[in-house]
């Protein structure tokens, strides 16, 4: 008997849905109500298509139409979709992203809660099946400045050199970097939005990480990807780090209200300053 394995068909892209989402996102990001022409220009959607979609969204109370000014703004109807998420645990909301990262990059993905006492605690982890893989226990605690997450934490908190050196001297590594090497990694993390730890925190283990921040710039959560050394090529590790950064940028915006593009703009400003 031959077994037949069902395969999911390739996902079909629905342009009308994508256009509606683009319009809603444009209105949500706008500081003031906008007319059809403005929305069309911002989204790249034709005026006629934009008009028809806006009328449909208005009928569902997802946008509000001002009959005097002929403008649209985001409507209360969108809150209906967020009700199931209100009061939900942040780790539960983030878990689908951890699963995606683990599936896409075949890595152990860890979510770290950053405490006010400069510690990090493992609150969630996801790993795809591998014959040989690393693992970490729920509730594991580490100093906030150690490892790949620690380099990102140091980059964001940006304390002065002497204070950072004092903290560094109390850290425990299996293969300790020099302070100058650590400091260079911190500077690079400030520019890139991610950091690596290549066998220093744990010998034979490679880690990439990035951090989620709130509107004040305070580090709130860290996401790290952990692999046995040499398990994935360096170019793939770099792609993984970029994906981590893009994910933490998005989560900072969606969970903590960071204005869209603020973190990216900050990194560009740092890069411009280095080349000035």
pLDDT one-digit tens code per residue, 166-206:
999 999 999 999 999 999 999 999 999 999 999 999 999 99
52 is written with which tokens? 């028809």
Where does the pLDDT of residue 133 fall: very low under 50, low under 70, confident under 90, or very high at 90 and above?
confident
pLDDT, tens digit, 9 for 90 and up, residues 152-171: 999 999 999 999 999 999 99
Q: Indicate the SS3 state at residue 163.
A: helix
Q: Do residues 248 and 219 touch, judged by C-beta distance below 8 A?
A: no
Q: Rounded to the nearest 5 degrees, what angle is found at the Cα of 60, between the Cα atoms of 58 and 65?
A: 15
pLDDT of residue 31: 83
pTM for the structure as a whole: 0.77
d(CA 70, CA 264): 34
Query: Which comes out higher in pLDDT, residue 200 or 133?
Result: 200
Q: pLDDT grade, residue 6 (50/70/90)?
A: very low
At residue 275, does pLDDT exceed 80?
no
**Per-position b or e across 14-34, b if 16+ CB within 10 A of its CB:** eeeeebbebbbebbeebeebb
Q: Strands 141-143 and 195-198: what pairing?
A: unpaired
Q: How confident is the model at residue 3 (pLDDT cuts 50, 70, 90)?
A: very low
Q: Determine the Cα–Cα distance for residues 234 and 142; give it in Å rounded to an integer.
A: 26
H or E element at residue 230:
none
Strand order in the sheet with 108-114: 141-143, 119-126, 108-114, 219-228, 205-213, 195-198
Q: Is the pLDDT of residue 276 over 60?
A: no
Percent of the chain's residues with pLDDT above 90: 75
Instruction: Give 62-88 pLDDT, tens digit per residue.
Output: 999 999 999 999 998 888 887 777 677
Task: Report the percent of the chain where pLDDT is more than 70.
Answer: 93
- Cα angle 208, 213, 217 (rounded to 5 degrees) comes to 125
**Domains of the chain and CATH, by start:** 15-81 (1.10.10.10), 90-275 (3.30.450.40)
* Element (DSSP H or E) covering residue 211: strand 205-213
> ∠ CA(270), CA(274), CA(276), 5° rounding?
110
d(CA 111, CA 202): 18
- Which pair of tokens denotes residue 158? 């940006």
φ, ψ of residue 44 in degrees (nearest 5): 75, 15
Q: Look at residue 90 in the predicted model and tell me its pLDDT.
A: 86
> Would you list the DSSP string of 79-108?
HHHHGGGTT--HHHHHHHHHHHHHHHHTSE
pLDDT averaged over every residue in the chain: 90
What's the pLDDT band for 4 if we cut at 50, 70, 90?
Answer: very low
Q: What is the tens place of the pLDDT at every residue in 11-69?
A: 678 888 999 999 999 998 888 999 999 999 999 999 999 999 999 999 999 999 999 99
Beta carbons within 10 angstroms of residue 113's beta carbon: 16
User: Picking from 45-49, 131-135, 214-218, which range would have the lowest pLDDT averaged per residue?
Assistant: 131-135
């Amino acid at each position: 008997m031959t077994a037949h394995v069902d395969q999911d068909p390739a996902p079909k892209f629905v342009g009308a849905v994508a256009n509606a989402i683009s319009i809603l996102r444009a209105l949500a990001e706008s500081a003031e109500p906008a007319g059809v022409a403005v929305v069309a220009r911002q989204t790249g959607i034709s005026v006629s298509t934009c008009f028809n979609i806006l009328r449909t969204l208005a009928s569902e109370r997802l946008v509000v139409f001002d009959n005097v000014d002929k403008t649209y703004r985001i409507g209360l109807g969108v809150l209906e979709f967020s009700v199931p998420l209100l009061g939900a645990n942040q780790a539960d909301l983030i878990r689908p992203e951890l699963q995606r990262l683990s599936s896409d990059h075949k890595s152990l993905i860890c979510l770290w809660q950053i405490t006010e006492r400069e510690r990090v605690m493992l609150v969630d982890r996801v790993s795809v099946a591998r014959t040989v893989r690393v693992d970490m226990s729920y509730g594991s605690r580490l100093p906030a400045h150690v490892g790949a997450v620690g380099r990102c934490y140091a980059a964001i908190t940006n304390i002065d050199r002497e204070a950072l050196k004092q903290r560094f001297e109390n850290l425990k590594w299996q293969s300790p970097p020099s302070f100058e090497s650590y400091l260079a990694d911190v500077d690079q993390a400030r520019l890139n939005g991610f950091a690596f730890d290549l066998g220093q925190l744990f010998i034979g283990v490679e880690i990439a990480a990035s951090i989620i921040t709130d509107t004040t710039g305070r580090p709130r959560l860290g996401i790290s990807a952990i692999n046995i050394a040499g398990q994935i090529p360096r170019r793939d590790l770099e792609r993984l780090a970029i994906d981590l950064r893009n994910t933490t940028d998005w989560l900072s915006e969606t969970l903590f209200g960071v204005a869209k593009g603020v973190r990216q703009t900050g990194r560009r400003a740092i890069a411009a300053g280095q080349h000035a």
